[in-house]
């Protein structure tokens, strides 16, 4: 890809960038959110038409008018944001748009057989007849991976493919990648997980603010060099945790249960404290906070705020009790993609603006938080869907800060976010704790939990297995509790 420029109204997303990828290699694309990585790949796959520049594929200049034409030429992509057709089967999702036919009739028997052979080749334990909507996000991700590989492509683009996968599923994906490399397939790999990048990459290209910065062999780089290239500065402290006074108990949960999701969870949360929730995917961490926030039905237990028992039946009840929740699924139940940055910022606090709405006050507050959180956006009226994932996340943080919560729950606050934005989010969480806010932070990244939390509550298959103090917490101890190797404990 030579001198690729891509302009959108009000923003130049790519400013003449380069990319050279060789067969049989894993080529990682690195950069902060908004650096242009996903935009460049969308230009390659035919979703966007470059404003200018050339794409040379197998020695020939190409221009793809749509994704299907790129796929037919041997370039496929696993997207960061999943778009499955939930009411259709796994098999129909894999072969959608290219179903085998007998005349004009879809040959379902052959389609199912092709699906079984594909899953067998990839060693995937998936039922082709299962409805897509019944799968976990992780299994949906594996279906997307299988679909991309089913094109027998020469180039496979993977955009944050492991964001929803368990450790064993990540290992499985890496075996698939090795197999593809052995067949001379080129993998373009986008991830913010440094350990993954240095484990599987042969070459790394770095972008910053829509510009090409550098390319090098992975063996010539280390984490510090890579971060400096990505953010243009050294990152001395990824986890800027400062000790701040822990106050009185602000939230008390006793014997909380929600059906089969989790049972009998009890803990206390204090002012100025960051309480980390750790556990493997499916352990029940998200379900606990959704129950506290009124998104999920409570089947047993009690919730107290400052000694007063709460009867939270919906998110509005939680918000009125000064509880905020930054959800795990940014796209599904976080942003409202059709609304602007300003509208998304004030969405949880509309009562504050009266009726009819005081739009000048809305814009003033949104402008204040966009500046405070360093949200990169052309203007306040830009649809939030046009922003990078990291800037969408910072907008959602601003939404909850605007409600001035006593308790802020952040579920995977840095998932899919680059190292620069991660450090900003970490600093913000620490600052809020220092101001006396009580924070619950769910994270699947152990270094993040260990670096940020004052105490760590560990879950295993819906059961709370222990609460560990910061001074006693190690990766090994947390994993013992998270895998059920250690006996469940009460606080």
| In a domain? residue 240 | no
Lowest mean pLDDT among 14-23, 95-104, 231-240, 423-432: 231-240
| Spatial strand order in the sheet of 249-258 | 308-310, 300-305, 249-258, 262-270, 463-469, 455-460, 274-278, 438-442, 407-411, 323-326
pLDDT of 205: 96
Q: Which of 185, 205, 231 is the last residue of a domain?
A: 231
Mean pLDDT value across residues 65-72: 89
Mean pLDDT value across residues 61-74: 90
The candidate with the shortest Cα–Cα distance to 475, out of 440, 450, 448, 444, is 450
Residues 157 and 256 in one domain: no
Residue ranges in 46-136 assigned as alpha helix (H): 67-72, 90-95, 108-121
- The DSSP code sequence of 67-85 is HHHHHHTTEEEE-SS----
Cβ neighbours around 8 below 10 Å, total: 14
- Residues with Cβ < 8 Å from 121, sequence gap 6 or more? none
| Confidence tier at 490 by pLDDT (50, 70, 90) | very low
The candidate with the shortest Cα–Cα distance to 158, out of 76, 56, 87, is 76
Parent domain of 310: 249-482
Cβ neighbours around 199 below 10 Å, total: 12
pLDDT in tens, 80-118: 766 788 889 999 988 888 888 988 898 999 999 999 999
Q: Which of 171, 196, 231 is the last residue of a domain?
A: 231
pLDDT in tens, 372-406: 888 888 889 999 988 877 788 889 988 998 888 99
Lowest mean pLDDT among 147-156, 310-319, 455-464: 147-156
Residues 34 and 134 in one domain: yes
pLDDT of 355: 87
Radius of gyration of the chain from Cα atoms?
23
CA distance 154 to 139: 24
CA distance 385 to 311: 35
CA distance 286 to 97: 35
Q: How many CA atoms, within 13 angstroms, populate the side-chain half-sphere of residue 31? A: 24
Q: How many CA atoms, within 13 angstroms, populate the side-chain half-sphere of residue 487? A: 2
| In a domain? residue 243 | no
pLDDT of 323: 95
Does the CA dihedral 53-58-63-64 come out positive or negative?
A: negative
Residues 291 and 194 in one domain: no
Instruction: Count the domains in the chain.
Output: 2
Contact 37, 190 (CB under 8 A): yes
Residues 423 and 277 in one domain: yes
Residues 203 and 257 in one domain: no
Q: Which of 231, 259, 284 is the last residue of a domain?
A: 231
Q: Is 311 left (phi over 0), alpha (psi -120 to 50) or beta?
A: beta
Residues 255 and 225 in one domain: no
Residues 226 and 257 in one domain: no
| Confidence tier at 357 by pLDDT (50, 70, 90) | confident
| In a domain? residue 302 | yes
Calculate the average pLDDT of the chain.
Answer: 88
The candidate with the shortest Cα–Cα distance to 413, out of 436, 395, 387, 433, is 395
pLDDT in tens, 329-352: 777 788 898 899 999 999 988 888
| In a domain? residue 412 | yes
Residue that is written with structure tokens 């990319």 in the block: 19
Residues 395 and 452 in one domain: yes
pLDDT in tens, 193-252: 788 899 999 999 999 888 999 999 999 998 888 877 886 755 455 666 667 789 999 999
Residues 373 and 439 in one domain: yes
Percent of the chain at pLDDT above 70? 94
- The DSSP code sequence of 358-386 is -HHHHHHHHHHHHHHTT---S-TTSBGGG
Higher-pLDDT residue of 128, 388: 128
| In a domain? residue 244 | no
Pairing of strands 186-190, 155-159: parallel
Residues 155 and 187 in one domain: yes
| In a domain? residue 195 | yes
Contact 78, 159 (CB under 8 A): yes
pLDDT of 33: 64
| In a domain? residue 201 | yes
| This prediction's pTM | 0.61
pLDDT of 235: 47
| In a domain? residue 176 | yes
CA distance 396 to 318: 17
CA distance 370 to 473: 35
pLDDT of 267: 96
Residues 392 and 439 in one domain: yes
Give the CA distances from residue 451 to residues 167, 216, 415, 467, in Å, rounded to whole numbers and listed in that order.
20, 30, 16, 16
Q: What is the CATH number of the domain that holds 367?
A: 3.40.50.300
Percent of the chain at pLDDT above 90? 48
Residues 305 and 227 in one domain: no
Residue that is written with structure tokens 């690729």 in the block: 4
For 481, the 3-state DSSP assignment is: helix
């Amino acid at each position: 890809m030579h001198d690729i420029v891509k302009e959108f109204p009000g923003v130049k997303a790519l400013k003449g960038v380069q990319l050279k990828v060789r067969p049989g290699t894993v080529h990682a694309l690195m950069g902060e959110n908004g650096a242009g990585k996903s935009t460049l790949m969308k230009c390659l796959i035919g979703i966007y038409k470059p404003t200018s520049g050339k794409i040379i594929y197998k020695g020939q200049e190409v221009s793809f008018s749509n994704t299907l034409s790129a796929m037919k030429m041997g370039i496929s992509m696993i997207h960061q944001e999943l778009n499955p057709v939930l009411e259709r089967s796994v098999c129909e999702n894999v072969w959608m748009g290219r179903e085998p036919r007998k005349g004009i009739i879809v040959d379902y028997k052959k389609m199912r057989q092709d699906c079984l052979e594909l899953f067998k080749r990839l060693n995937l334990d998936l039922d082709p007849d299962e409805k897509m909507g019944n799968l976990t996000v992780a299994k949906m991700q594996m279906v997307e991976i299988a679909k991309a590989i089913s094109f027998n492509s020469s180039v496979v683009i993977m955009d944050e493919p492991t964001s929803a996968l368990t450790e064993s599923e990540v290992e499985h994906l890496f075996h698939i990648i090795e197999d593809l490399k052995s067949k001379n397939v080129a993998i373009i790999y986008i991830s913010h997980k440094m350990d993954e990048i240095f484990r599987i990459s042969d070459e790394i290209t770095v972008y910053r603010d829509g510009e090409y910065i550098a390319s090098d062999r992975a063996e010539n780089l280390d984490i510090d060099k890579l971060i400096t290239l990505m953010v243009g500065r050294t990152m001395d402290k990824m986890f800027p945790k400062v000790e701040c006074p822990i106050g009185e108990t602000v939230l008390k949960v006793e014997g909380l249960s929600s059906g089969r999701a989790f049972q009998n969870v009890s803990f206390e949360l204090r002012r100025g404290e960051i309480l980390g929730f750790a556990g493997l995917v499916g352990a029940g961490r998200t379900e606990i906070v959704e129950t506290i926030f009124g998104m999920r039905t409570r089947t047993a237990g009690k919730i107290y705020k400052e000694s007063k028992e709460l009867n939270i039946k919906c998110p509005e009840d939680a918000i009125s009790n000064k509880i905020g929740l930054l959800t795990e699924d940014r796209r599904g139940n976080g942003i409202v993609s059709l609304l602007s940055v300003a509208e998304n910022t004030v969405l949880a606090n509309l009562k504050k603006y009266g009726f009819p709405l005081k739009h000048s006050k809305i814009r003033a507050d949104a402008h204040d938080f966009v500046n405070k959180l360093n949200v990169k956006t052309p203007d306040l009226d830009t649809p939030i869907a046009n922003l990078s994932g990291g800037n969408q996340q910072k907008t959602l943080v601003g939404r909850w800060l605007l409600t001035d919560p006593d308790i802020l729950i952040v579920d995977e606050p840095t998932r899919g976010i680059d190292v620069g934005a991660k450090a900003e989010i970490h600093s913000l969480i620490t600052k809020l704790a220092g101001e006396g806010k009580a924070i619950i932070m769910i994270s699947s990244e152990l270094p993040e939990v260990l670096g940020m939390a004052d105490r760590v509550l560990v879950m295993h298959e819906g059961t709370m297995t222990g609460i560990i103090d910061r001074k006693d917490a190690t990766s090994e101890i947390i994993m013992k509790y998270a895998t059920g190797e250690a006996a469940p404990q009460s606080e």
